Structure 1
């Protein structure tokens, strides 16, 4: 997955550490592309109404299915779930370290990984309270380790069965039975905050898709994939980042905005990485929309920037921007110490879309990126937005 900020964010692509690879012995799988890796009851600003032939119940769109997860997570926050804090304060080992020391070390390791692979976001987390900062690091590392299963050096050996074992490990983690120190950090986090397990399971489901699926027939299918690999991160991290006490927004609307930011980031990844994905035989673009634009997979594999392609890309970029717009109102509702890193992420990732336009929509041979100078300018602007407070809506 491309590196983005958490609320936001998926783990960074093509980066590995031996820390992150102590996952499942003997597992392996197919290489997946870098871009991977996220209602009748709710109206998103994107007004999407497509229905997927792959959805088990054709009467329900992907947005409706995902919204059920949003409602469940929001309900946990409202109910102030009973804390199941792990007992890391007793047993003393032979080296004189007790379990509390080991847990602190686990959190510090998570912070080191975050600092190495998500530098901008890491700086933003330093403004959070120590407890929230550590919890966000733990979530980031779990997402990164999960992504490494299908995007790391052992990717060609990963099988669906290996992902099943990883999901079983997740279940144990949520039950307070971590397998290693990094698991222990997340196990402690989900015991302290009202975090639901479903978004974590859904992210693993997104990894499963990457083992066998390389085409998406319509946007409804693509939306569900974007939720799995990126939108889930927003649902995981909002309980930790917290909602501002003065916010008048509903909990559901804040989670919807977090979801929208994850979708926007993943759509941006996809548009940025069209050429790279094509070289791996993958097309993460709605097939029906390509056809309506007079385009096909063969046109993408040829990599020619034509008027048809420019017109198609303009529509795709417009959709991604609508999701970013949807997300903005939710960022403003977060607790004061959490807003800056999320604003920075939103602004910097949205600028990738600008870069695609600057490259004349050539995302076949040119990689759109935000230069260091623009990043430097954006950070104080994001900080200013974070200080503005919440919207009373």
Structure 2
């Protein structure tokens, strides 16, 4: 602890005109949190158990007799497999799982640890940094923030810190200064991330995340991959097939699961393997991102972007011009039905594993899953017109979903296994 706290207050870059007190109180960085125009990931992922092609990116979960092993449900209609894309994600998942396994082994080993020396005043500054992260989360992710209040204090603070970093990263390409962002700016942001992981935070928000990654087995690669997703947005506006789109969805949304699950924790009674939990955490991120894409087709088209598989558009008898013209036809309806079906398959896979999380972490994840999935229902209710009508979930429906999410959060992995056995 002493080493971590010392690192938190060592070299912090402070712009001219600000003293150190002002910097740590949040005046180094205070962006305007506008509604983002790029398809924002939802900062909440869960642990799931699945062996679907894309949800598991090639990993074959251990069949221990307690879970149903399913064949690929969400494969590219063309049957193509992008080995490099799958392997890239798979390697990150295995690395994160290994970190968690290592921490568990250490926790199970009795070690005589001497008390840490705490630098006077450091804990107060760090606590203030976490509180500021919580304020940001409360303002811009109200439902999720409410659910985090059920977590242990240490876990909810860590989730707040991760949320803020992800939002700041997203702002780089969609915030007020997005037009001035260059690849070199993203390179500098990645260097700053490396410093953060090394215990050299630049400001109060960095300090909160630096402390978080020192406490939990979080690997840096998912954070780097999210930055790579921002780079992709700067140079790419078309995706040839679903394999390419899947990799993009992993970068900007699936990564959040690998960041968050180590903090949220896995239920002690869970029998799922560590690899399967972290591997399948991608499913909800992919589902959320696909939902964002389908919701924002018209908005993206007006910016010259199409986040839809080009080969599947062609198979449906559609082209970029059809998307830009924004006319709802039978061809478009049939195309959208298939895209929505794919997104729902990812949600179904994600839903099976929410109970693998520690109980205190389940409610915000369930709330996010239930609410986000309803966006697909709203697209259908709009007769698949996602060109000029924005699908959104009403406040009444949101309020109705919260008690349902809370009820489901009380269901333990043991109960789910017993129910599956009875049905079998």
Give the TM bin, normalised by the shorter chain: 0.7 to 0.9
1:255 aligns with 2:278: yes
The residue aligned with 1:14 is: none
Q: Which residue does the alignment assign to 2:197?
A: 174
Question: Residues 88 and 154 (structure 1 numbering): CA distance in 2 closer, same or farther, change over 3 Å?
Answer: farther
**Cα distance, 1:70 vs. partner?**
0.9
- The Cα of 1:326 is off from its aligned counterpart by 1.1
Q: State yes or no: 1:163 paired with 2:179.
A: no
Alignment partner, residue 206 of structure 1 = 229
Other-structure match for 1:183:
206
Deviations 1:22-70 (A, max 9, x none): 399xxxxxxx942255954336542345345xxxxxxx24233211111
C-alpha separation in 1, matches of 2:230 and 2:209: 20
Deviation at 1:89, TM superposition (A): 2.7
Matches of 2:26 and 2:395, distance apart in 1: 28
- Is 1:35 matched with 2:53? no
Aligned residues: 353
Kept in 2: contact 1:23–1:145 (CA 8 A): no
Q: Check 1:88–1:123 CA distance in 2 against 1; reply closer, same or farther (3 A cut).
A: farther
Q: SS where residue 281 of structure 2 aligns?
A: helix
Cα pair distance change 1:136/1:20, threshold 3 Å: farther
What's the TM-score, normalizing by structure 1? Answer: 0.86
Deviation of 1:110 (Å): 0.2
Residue 142 of structure 1 pairs with residue 165 of structure 2: yes
Is contact 2:59–2:279 with CA below 8 Å preserved after alignment?
no
- Say whether the 8 Å CA contact 2:241–2:309 is kept in structure 1: yes
Cα distance between partner residues in 2 of 1:252 and 1:118: 29
Instruction: Work out the CA distance in 1 between the residues paired with 2:28 and 2:240.
Output: 33
- SS of the equivalent of 2:352 reads helix
3-state SS of 1:196 partner: coil
Whole-angstrom CA distance in 2 between matches of 1:40 and 1:331: 21
* 8 Å Cα contact 1:50/1:219 also seen in 2: no
| Correspondence for 1:131 | 154
1:243–1:335 Cα contact (<8 Å) kept: yes
Instruction: Tell me the CA shift for residue 88 of structure 1.
Output: 9.0
- Separation in 1 of the partners of 2:27 and 2:337? 38
C-alpha distance in 1, partners of 2:29/2:190?
A: 15
Matched, 1:50 2:80: yes
Larger Rg over CA atoms: 2
Gaps of 5+ in 1: 1-17, 25-31, 53-59, 93-97
RMSD: 2.2
Contact 1:275/1:364 (8 A) holds in 2 = yes
Structure 1 contact 260–323 (Cα < 8 Å) conserved:
yes
Q: Aligned to 2:308, what secondary structure does the other structure show?
A: coil
Provide the secondary structure at the position in 2 that maps to 1:305.
coil
Provide the rounded CA distance (Å) in 2 between the counterparts of 1:118 and 1:162: 27
Question: Aligned partners of 1:298 and 1:382: how far apart in 2?
Answer: 41
Structure 2 distance, partners of 1:337, 1:236, is 17
Whether the 8 Å CA contact 1:132–1:240 is kept in 2: the answer is: yes
The DSSP-based 3-state class of the residue aligned with 1:221 is helix
CA deviation string 1:356-378 (max 9, x = no partner): 00000000000000001111111
Give the Å deviation of 1:21.
8.2
Contact 1:36–1:270 under 8 Å retained in 2: no
For residue 314 of structure 2, the aligned residue among 273, 276, 291 is 291
What's the offset of the Cα at 1:329? 2.0
Q: Which moved more, 1:61-70 or 1:193-202?
A: 61-70
Once the 2 structures are TM-superposed, how far is the Cα of residue 255 of structure 1 from its aligned partner?
1.5
d(CA) in 2 for partners of 1:179, 1:302: 46
Give matches, 1:62-141, under 5 Å.
62-80=85-103, 89-90=118-119, 92=120, 98-141=121-164
Contact 1:126/1:133 (8 A) holds in 2: yes
Residues 308 and 360 of structure 1: is their aligned pair in 2 closer, same or farther, counting only changes over 3 Å? same
- Write the distance in 1 (CA, Å) between the matches of 2:224 and 2:333: 37
CA separation of 1:138 and 1:36: change in aligned 2, threshold 3 A: closer
Give the Cα separation in 2 of the matches to 1:21 and 1:350: 37
Kept in 1: contact 2:93–2:279 (CA 8 A): yes
- Whether 2:244 is the aligned partner of 1:221: answer yes
Partner of 1:89: helix, strand, or coil? coil
1:193 aligns with 2:216: yes
Q: 1:190 to 1:159 in 2, by over 3 A?
A: same
State TM-score, norm by structure 2.
0.80
